[in-house]
Chain A
Amino acid sequence: MNIKINHLSYTYPSNQPFKEDALSDINASIKSNDFVAIIGQTGSGKSTLIQNLNGLLIPTTGQVEIEDYIIKKKVKLKNIKQLRKKIGIVFQFPEYQLFEENVEKDILFGPKNFGFNEKQLAGLAKKVLEEVGLDETFLKKSPFELSGGEKRRVAIAGILAFDPEVLIVDEPTAGLDPQTANKIMELFYNLYKKQHKTIILVTHQMEDVLKYANHVMALKNGKLEAYTTPFRLFNDEKLMSHLQIEMPLILKIAKETKKKYPDLDLSKVKDIDSFVMQLKDVI
């Protein structure tokens, strides 16, 4: 399912004197089964952009095309429920959206709302809980007894439960401990790799961009400054300093090491393990 963003601008309604475009004239398309990272400083428009992708916000000007759906001002969006079933968003701090009396009910809320029948619902909560690394003892727990990291995983399970084609995740690992964060990132990567989902990841973690993403969109002050591959981005010093981002440390180290071992293939360096493997080959 391809997403086409045409001349998208968005301004938040406000009575305030300062009124700036949160997004201005964004043009981009995201192909099916891609892993795209959206980066940019806080306030650059990342979260606003993703909310324009499933009709939670409607572009002030311009439009978003997703298959037959056109999200545009003054055009009534037909069958918006189906669109939202296809594009699942995991928001920042999704754990604050938990509200049911137990984890199972919370997970099944989305699927029920999208009209899943009894047969489809049977065993579903248990299955998605397993995907996020929680066992079935969690089914009957109240969301309020869970820790922050567990709540986050339950909230993600609630989105996985209705099996969206496109998964948009907004800083899914903020505030999680490193081991839980790694597990969650591996989960999204597997959904992309094995189940061929499209993943759109909003993140500040350049290490994750390097390791997981095929493409990267860089926003600054509401403008799309670059839409490229992580490798190209991290080799463009001018662009990086313009965007005020830092190269992942592993790539910095690899670049230094390449001075001594010119055969080192930088394009294959994604994390510590791949760097060590490349290095072993040339040493």
Chain B
Amino acid sequence: MSAIKFENVNFGYHNQNLIIEDLNLEIKRGKYTVLLGHNGSGKSTIAKLAIGLLECKKGSIFVDDILLNEENLNKIRSKVAIVFQNPDNQFIGATVRDDMAFGLENKCVDTNLMDGIIEEYASKVNMQKFLDAEPTNLSGGQKQRVAIAGVLAMQPDILILDEATSMLDPVGKKEIFEVIKDLKQKRSDMTILSITHNIDEALFADEIIILNNGKVVKVGNPSEILYDNELLTKNALEAPFIVQLEESLNKAGIKVKQTLDVKELVKQL
């Protein structure tokens, strides 16, 4: 069962070269999938194609097995929610509360329940104190928190995160990641597609897809991919810190055995 499926998809802006050519891709339903790739590899384009913000030139896209076309667009958008990299691009409301309400109104949520839902999700991301603040007065990281709370409150079947925590500090990133993991645990049918450069996040994924120049070069689970320094480097990515350190030590003639545990590594020195 696939949540998102691309079949032989082509895409390019205007009359320019194709960014994506003959792409076949499957995001499995109920899984946590991480999409890795260098800047310009086509990750965000895939996200925009999947929600119908961009239209493919050739091929077909299915969301929850429904063909993405003009007729089905609204049906598909009611299933999918996306958080973009730059939260400024998705604020609508005059206050944080209004902004979060907008998505819920669109989903026809009972107005009596709305305030409760908004407060619940704002608290999850630690923004409950800012409900009456103007989004423009918030910091970059705070805006990202609000944007995430807004889409989580909508309880989408498919959640797409496009570098959604890039402006948070590491502690904040961890916090938001826990919220999302928690939500996923409660709703095992929810599909999450995360576009990220954070290799630590990829460690927790069910599946990792590596993209290079608009093509899928590898699909696998974290243990198949994250310790393959050659594969990662070739695709403009970086191995986890510990893998890099081991390689550097071995190169310098300080022989260590491969491990993923920092303590274990220190013991070997």
Contact = CB atoms under 8 A, between A and B. Distances in A.
Same complex origin of A and B: yes
Interface of A: 12, 14, 16-18, 40-44, 46-47, 92-93, 96, 144-150, 152, 171, 174-181, 204, 206, 244-246, 249-250, 252-253, 256-257, 260, 272-273, 275-277, 279-280, 283
B167 interface: yes
B134 interface: yes
Given A42-B172, A145-B16, A280-B254, A179 B38 contact: yes
A147 B237 contact: no
Contacts of A47: 139-140
Closest 3 pairs between A and B when the two form their complex, measured CB to CB: A42-B141, A149-B39, A147-B40
Given A175-B85, A280-B254, 8 more contacts: A42-B140, A43-B138, A176-B197, A178-B238, A245-B171, A257-B269, A277-B252, A279-B269
A204 B133 contact: no
A145 B11 CA distance: 12
B123 interface: no
Nearest to A204: B169
15 contacts: A42-B140, A148-B44, A152-B39, A171-B140, A177-B37, A177-B38, A177-B197, A178-B199, A178-B238, A245-B171, A253-B265, A272-B245, A279-B252, A280-B252, A283-B269
Given A16-B134, A147-B39, A246 B197 contact: no
Contacts of A179: 38, 236-238
B88 interface: yes
Contacts of B245: 250, 253, 272, 275-276
A276 B254 contact: yes
Contacts of A12: 137
Interface in B210-269: 236-238, 241, 244-245, 248-249, 251-254, 262-263, 265-266, 269
Interface in B137-179: 137-142, 144-145, 163, 166-172
A46 B14 CA distance: 39
Interface of B: 13-14, 16, 37-41, 44, 85-86, 88, 129, 132-134, 137-142, 144-145, 163, 166-172, 197, 199, 236-238, 241, 244-245, 248-249, 251-254, 262-263, 265-266, 269
Nearest to A147: B40
Contacts of B137: 12, 14, 16
Contact of B140 (A92, A178, A249, A283): A92
B167 A174 contact: yes
Contacts of A93: 85-86, 88
Nearest to B252: A276
Contacts of B39: 147-150, 152, 176-177, 180
B38 A180 contact: yes
Contacts of A246: 170-171
B35 to A, nearest CB: 12
Nearest to A91: B140
A256 B166 CA distance: 30
Contacts of A275: 245
A113 B44 CA distance: 33
Contacts of B252: 276-277, 279-280
A275 B144 CA distance: 35
A145 B18 CA distance: 11
B62 to A, nearest CB: 26
A244 B171 contact: yes
Contact of A280 (B38, B166, B253): B253
A46 B168 CA distance: 13
Contact of B197 (A14, A40, A178): A178
Contacts of B241: 249-250, 272
A272 B238 contact: no
A206 B138 CA distance: 23
A42 B238 contact: no
A146 B14 CA distance: 13
A253 B133 contact: no
A96 B197 contact: no
A41 to B, nearest CB: 5
Nearest to B133: A16
A249 B166 contact: no
A17 B130 CA distance: 11
Contact of B171 (A41, A152, A283): A41
A17 B132 contact: yes
Contacts of B169: 40-42, 204, 244-245
B173 to A, nearest CB: 8
A171 B167 contact: yes
Contact of B236 (A40, A174, A177, A279): A177
Nearest to B44: A148
A257 B253 CA distance: 17
Nearest to A152: B39
Contacts of B140: 42, 47, 92, 171
A257 B266 contact: yes
Nearest to A15: B134
A206 B129 CA distance: 28
Contacts of A256: 263, 266
